[in-house]
Amino acid sequence: MPKAEAPAPLVLLGQVVGAHGVRGAVKIRSFTQEPTDIAAYGPLRDKAGSRSFKLRVLGVARGNVLATVSGVADRDAAEAMRGLELFVARASLPPPDEDEYYLADLVGLSAVRSDGSTFGRVAAVHDFGAGTLLEVEREGAGSLLLPFNRACVPVVDPSAGRVVVEPPESLLSAAAAEDSEPADPPEGA
């Protein structure tokens, strides 16, 4: 039996944050370097890859891209899209310039200390609004969220398959204390 091909990796380009007007336009928080480029890479998809969305950018207002979506003709349909994450296949994006990378390309890289010792593997890249964080899974020690800045992540080398991490000692101490806490006893024990 032939192996099923792995789905193409997807990159999050934006998220619908609400409706705009009464004719079905949407407001999108764009994560592209130039916000209006969100429509430049072809149709976007939902996370499952099961639905496709063709955008036509109308402009930018208050930091959000205003766009129409083919097949969305009224405010109710636009409002139903609120929260929808919009993805594109990684292969649709242009190659990054030298010394640049896509955050999505960091997932899966080895995380090593400056002395070369293994620290873990990048599991995810998060941005909750206060700055980008790398989630690093550590074998037998749980995950750790590191600020993605030069102090904590001084070297990013996707071509070598690694990032160098230097977590603050206070963060490591807190994580060690958390990892050593006993699990909650079962109810009724």
Q: What does pLDDT average to in each consecutive run of 10 residues of the chain (189 residues)?
A: 62 95 95 93 92 96 95 95 95 87 92 94 88 92 92 94 92 69 58
pLDDT for res 183: 56
Statement to judge: residues 84 and 115 lie in one domain: no
Burial of 109-124, coded b for 16+ CB within 10 Å and e otherwise, reads bbbbeeeeeebbbbbb
On whether residue 144 sits in a domain, the answer given is yes
pLDDT for res 130: 82
Listed residues 36, 67, 90: the one ending a domain: 90
On whether residue 55 sits in a domain, the answer given is yes
The CA distance from 50 to 13, in Å, is 16
Q: Residue 75 belongs to a domain with what CATH number?
A: 2.40.30.60
Statement to judge: residues 134 and 165 lie in one domain: yes
Q: Is 141 exposed, middle or buried (CB count within 10 Å of its CB: 0-12, 13-18, 19+)?
A: middle
Statement to judge: residues 124 and 78 lie in one domain: no
What range does the domain containing 110 cover?
103-179
Strand order in the sheet with 44-45: 52-53, 44-45, 85-89, 10-20, 25-30, 64-69, 55-61
The tokens describing 35, both together, are 């916000």
- Domain count within the chain: 2
On whether residue 184 sits in a domain, the answer given is no
The CA distance from 187 to 179, in Å, is 21
Q: Residue 123 belongs to a domain with what CATH number?
A: 2.30.30.240
- Strand pairing class (110-112; 162-164): parallel
Listed residues 60, 90, 120: the one ending a domain: 90
The CA distance from 70 to 44, in Å, is 11
pLDDT for res 16: 97
3-state secondary structure of 149: coil
Statement to judge: residues 108 and 173 lie in one domain: yes
pLDDT for res 187: 63
Listed residues 33, 62, 90: the one ending a domain: 90
Angle at 164 between CA 92 and CA 118, to 5 degrees: 110
For residue 71, which of 87, 85, 53 has the smallest C-alpha distance? Answer: 53
Statement to judge: residues 81 and 153 lie in one domain: no
The CA distance from 62 to 17, in Å, is 12
- Strand pairing class (64-69; 25-30): antiparallel
Statement to judge: residues 24 and 75 lie in one domain: yes
pLDDT for res 156: 95
pLDDT for res 128: 80
